[in-house]
Amino acid sequence: MAGGAHSGALEELDSRPGRDTIVNALVRRGLIGLSVAFLAALLLAPLAVIFVSAFQSGVQAYLRSFADPDTQAAIRLTLVTAAVVVPVNTVFGLAAAWAIAKFEFRGKSLLITLIDLPIAVSPVISGMLFVLLFGMRGWFGAWLAANGISLVFAIPGIMIATLFVTFPYVARELIPLMQQLGNDEEEAAITLGAGGWMTFFRVTLPKIRWGLLYGVILCNARAMGEFGAVSVVSGHIRGLTNTMPLAIEALYNDYDFTGAFAVASLLTLLAVLTLVLKSLVERTGYRRR
């Protein structure tokens, strides 16, 4: 929404004759006040409290929290998980979007519904699904135990669960985008002799880059911050199968508030970074449908 056009229309509105300026001013102030109060209580205060609590024992204490080996392990695990999950989901998103946007086939709506599923489902349930599959008493539990592979209560399980909850993000950005952009350019490239991969990399990818980036940013944020699903699957073994959110829970339950909020502050900074990147991408003109 262009700021200029917006304010031009507002200015005209203000200049109109016969406006009941007192009532309007009151309503305006009231609504703005309510909104600010609501958001301040629900958003700003919590954000502020994170940093205040993290530093309440001083900067040294804050920094010392990160020297804890369990915390470091958690940070490492989170980063590694994201590093694995995000690329895989990006590839999936691209493939799914290509299939759905460029072709007509039966069962397309079913496919789209399945893609939307993880978003509609509680994260706990998402995690539970994998426990049911790979847990000790699960479908593959016996086979896995016999072959010495542990998925649940181990790192691979965490990655699979995270994969499940985050895979829709890239696809959901790309599908409507590619549908909107149409096939003309790709068809032109084919008629000019380009192969499939070349068309994809040279024609499609540049077109969708901002949507792709947007989806990746969201996917990453969710991957690093996922709690419910990972909590179910992880086993909470400190130093081994705790991601950062789980580490926060562990530290909190141990009453190590400085530690908990210190880790939380890192994730908060990530969230802020995510929002900043989001608005930068939006400024390039990319608009979510």
- The footprint of other proteins on residues 155-214 (CB under 8 A) is 160, 163-164, 167, 183, 186-187, 190-191, 195-196, 199-200
| Torsion of the alpha carbons at 77, 79, 83 and 86, rounded to the nearest 10 | 100
In the list 16, 106, 193, 206, the residue contacting other proteins (rule: CB under 8 A) is 16
Examine residue 84 and tell whether it contacts other proteins (CB under 8 A).
no
Least distance between other proteins and beta carbon 236 (Å): 10
Sites for other proteins among residues 270-289 (CB under 8 A):
271, 274-275, 278-279
Cβ contacts of 203-212, under 8 Å, gap ≥ 24: 204/98, 204/178, 207/181, 208/97, 208/174, 208/177, 208/178, 208/181, 210/281, 210/284, 210/285, 210/286, 211/173, 211/174, 211/177, 211/286, 212/90, 212/93, 212/94, 212/170, 212/173, 212/174
Segment lying near other proteins (by CB under 8 A), choices 47-55, 59-67, 69-77, 207-215 = 47-55
Distance CA 216, CA 178 (A): 16
Comparing CB distances to other proteins, the nearer of 35 and 284 is: 35
Comparing CB distances to other proteins, the nearer of 107 and 148 is: 107
Distance CA 131, CA 135 (A): 4
Q: Determine contact, residues 285/75, Cβ cutoff 8 Å.
A: no
Under rule CB under 8 A, how many of the chain's residues touch other proteins?
103
Sites for other proteins among residues 115-144 (CB under 8 A):
115-118, 120-125, 128-133, 135-139
Distance CA 133, CA 139 (A): 5
In the list 26, 31, 205, 237, the residue contacting other proteins (rule: CB under 8 A) is 31
In the list 159, 208, 212, 264, the residue contacting other proteins (rule: CB under 8 A) is 264
Number of Cβ within 10 Å of residue 164's Cβ equals: 22
Least distance between other proteins and beta carbon 23 (Å): 9
Q: Is the dihedral of CA 137, 80, 75, 174 positive or negative?
A: negative
Segment lying near other proteins (by CB under 8 A), choices 49-57, 68-76, 79-87, 206-214 = 49-57
Least distance between other proteins and beta carbon 159 (Å): 12
